[in-house]
A = this chain, B = another copy of it.
């Protein structure tokens, strides 16, 4: 019976995610869901991304956290609009929370919506929010074993980022282990190694975002 309830909860989530996806597609908004551990650098990467792409495209941000509005405050100056969702003890964003968040935006005014999920490498992976692509974010200071220990985000992501490359000289991290573990799981996903703090290789990520926004989603093409 517990399993039935979980299945029903996920089914309901998927139905609401489909509504989100339809609304976003109809308005021509592309949507990313960024997933990573607490402190992997999601917000700093977003800050740098918004600064770099300001004027070039219109970006809205939905950011999730258990508590505080600190991320939203950091991001507010750099984008069209940012909405914070506090989940309390909730470990992930769900499609209904995103649906409520979407009602704060005028989607016609956006090219890209970036969802910064709650800091958690596990639970957010299983919840469709209506995004077009998931971004999996690791960081050097978390260690080289994160892909093999967290295979589900690796399998689901459309792009993987290894952030905090500037810390490589100061931490135990074997890039061969990281690379070969990843390759054992998947060989068809781009892996961008960069530092949001120093800006190293961040252009690779910005180019990925540009290409992503310029690609119409398959669902939108069918409309």
List residues of chain B with CB within 8 A of the CB of A125: 89
Bound: A145/B66 CA distance, A: 12
Bound: A119/B1 CA distance, A: 28
Chain A positions 114 through 125: 1 when the CB is less than 8 Å from some CB of chain B, otherwise 0:
000011111101
Q: Which of A104-112, A166-174, A201-209, A214-222 contacts B (4 or more CB under 8 A)?
A: A166-174
List residues of chain B with CB within 8 A of the CB of A67: 148-151
Selected contact of A146 from candidates B5, B39, B152, CB within 8 Å? B39
Chain A positions 87 through 104: 1 when the CB is less than 8 Å from some CB of chain B, otherwise 0:
001010000000000000
Q: Which of A23-31, A49-57, A135-143, A186-194 contacts B (4 or more CB under 8 A)?
A: A135-143
Tell me whether A120 and B118 are in contact in the complex, defined as CB-CB below 8 angstroms, given that A65-B149, A66-B150, A167-B170 are known contacts.
no
Bound: A164/B70 CA distance, A: 23
Q: Is the CB of B38 within 8 A of A149?
A: yes
Is A175 located at the chain interface by the 8 A CB criterion?
no
Is A37 located at the chain interface by the 8 A CB criterion?
yes
Bound: A150/B118 CA distance, A: 11
Is A68 located at the chain interface by the 8 A CB criterion?
yes
Bound: A126/B88 CA distance, A: 12
List residues of chain B with CB within 8 A of the CB of A150: 38, 66-67
Interfacial residues of chain A within 33-82, with CB under 8 A of chain B in the complex: 37-39, 65-68, 70
Bound: A166/B170 CA distance, A: 9
Is A183 located at the chain interface by the 8 A CB criterion?
no
Look across to chain B and name the residue whose beta carbon is closest to the beta carbon of A91: B122
Q: Is the CB of B38 within 8 A of A142?
A: yes
Bound: A61/B148 CA distance, A: 21
Selected contact of A66 from candidates B5, B149, B197, CB within 8 Å? B149
Tell me whether A149 and B2 are in contact in the complex, defined as CB-CB below 8 angstroms, given that A89-B122, A143-B39 are known contacts.
no
Tell me whether A148 and B39 are in contact in the complex, defined as CB-CB below 8 angstroms, given that A5-B5, A120-B120, A170-B166 are known contacts.
no
Q: Which 9 A-B pairs have the closest CB atoms?
A: A39-B142, A141-B141, A91-B122, A37-B38, A39-B143, A37-B37, A91-B123, A5-B5, A38-B121
